[in-house]
């Protein structure tokens, strides 16, 4: 029998009268690390202490809501279809946060809160573009840790495989039509490792970017990786032309982010304005 990664036999544990779900715990740990990493980077880029945590107080709940709404919009049958359970829509500890919704609503909320904090500050501070750059590696780390929560839930795996790092999935968790297979691609792990790799790239080479480009690189590079991961996944999803919806979403988001990054560079070349890399102090 070839080796494989086992799926945890439990997704939660009891702490006194409380049930602690590993998925939720991973999300919380990821958020804490993202705020800590982002705060350290933001201060190093010239920002004021405490701004990241103030913004996170609004952006994190917004991101969770946005992620859940995206999941519900793209996978409605399990909740609102025939035999669905509408109340399960609130059970985020069971998994189901769409990254595109989380990034979209979380970024909008972060921008709104950041502008309010900036207006209340009497000293000139850095731009929102640099704020987003500061957060990018921490957000990637949070996503990487969040995907480990999917492992505890026994979800987000890919096609059958017998590779040494294959994931052993219990029969009860195997999708219809795959009952005869035991091991599958651990796509949650692929995504987690991809996120960590991108975080390291931004930390190492981010100083070469112009304000806002580290965040745009995160969005575009993550989307490219996610596109290939989606091609491996076999869980239920809306499909167009035989491909999962998120393949098209990933391609579109990657293209938009890459285009915006190119536009930033081009605009600076045309205007002759090249602010110091990885800074964005408001003049």
Q: Which residue has the higher pLDDT, 3 or 104?
A: 104
Residue carrying the six token digits 């969005």: 219
Instruction: Name the residue ranges covered by the structural domains of the chain.
Output: 5-271
Alpha-carbon distance of 276 to 255, in angstroms, equals 26
**Inter-residue contact 42 to 134 (CB < 8 Å):** yes
Radius of gyration for the chain, computed over Cα atoms and rounded to the nearest angstrom: 20
Two tokens, residue 166? 């294959």
Helix (H, G, I), strand (E, B) or coil at 21: strand
Q: Compute the C-alpha angle 44/47/49, nearest 5°.
A: 90
Alpha-carbon distance of 68 to 102, in angstroms, equals 8
Query: pTM above the 0.85 mark?
Result: yes
pLDDT score at 123: 57
pLDDT score at 100: 80
Alpha-carbon distance of 169 to 275, in angstroms, equals 51
Residue carrying the six token digits 């990786």: 225
Alpha-carbon distance of 135 to 178, in angstroms, equals 40
Q: Sign of the C-alpha dihedral, residues 129, 133, 134, 138?
A: positive
Average pLDDT over residues 12-21: 86
Closest CA to 146 of 29, 42, 279, 64: 29
pLDDT digits (tens, 9 = 90+) for 147-164: 999 999 998 899 999 999
Average pLDDT over residues 58-84: 80
**Inter-residue contact 48 to 56 (CB < 8 Å):** no
23 Cα distance to chain centroid: 14
Distances (CA, A) of 97 to 62, 120, 167: 12, 33, 22
Helix (H, G, I), strand (E, B) or coil at 10: coil
**pLDDT at 175 > cutoff 50:** yes
pLDDT interval class at 274 (50, 70, 90): very low
């Amino acid at each position: 029998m070839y080796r494989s990664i086992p799926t945890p036999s439990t997704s939660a544990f009891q702490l006194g009268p409380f049930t602690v779900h590993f998925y939720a715990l991973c999300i919380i740990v990821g958020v804490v690390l993202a705020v800590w990493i982002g705060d350290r980077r933001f201060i190093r880029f010239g920002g004021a202490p405490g701004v990241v945590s103030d913004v996170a107080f609004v952006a994190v709940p917004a991101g969770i809501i946005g992620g859940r709404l995206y999941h519900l919009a793209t996978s409605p049958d399990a909740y609102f279809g025939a035999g669905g359970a509408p109340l399960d829509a609130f059970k985020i500890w069971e998994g189901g946060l769409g990254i595109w919704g989380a990034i979209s609503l979380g970024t909008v909320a972060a921008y709104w809160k950041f502008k309010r904090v900036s207006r209340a500050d009497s000293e000139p501070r850095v731009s929102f573009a640099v704020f987003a750059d500061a957060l990018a590696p921490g957000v990637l780390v949070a996503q990487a840790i969040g995907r480990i929560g999917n492992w505890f839930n026994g979800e987000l795996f890919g096609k059958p495989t017998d590779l040494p790092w294959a994931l052993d999935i219990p029969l009860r968790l195997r999708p219809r039509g795959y009952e005869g297979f035991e091991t599958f691609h651990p796509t949650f792990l692929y995504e987690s490792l991809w996120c960590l790799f991108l975080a390291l790239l931004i930390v190492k080479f981010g100083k070469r970017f112009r304000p806002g480009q580290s965040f745009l690189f995160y969005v575009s590079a993550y989307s490219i990786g996610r596109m290939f991961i989606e091609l491996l996944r076999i869980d239920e999803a809306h499909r167009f032309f035989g491909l999962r919806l998120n393949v098209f979403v990933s391609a579109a988001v990657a293209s938009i982010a890459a285009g915006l990054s190119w536009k930033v560079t081009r605009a600076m070349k045309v205007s002759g304005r090249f602010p110091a890399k990885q800074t964005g102090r408001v003049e």
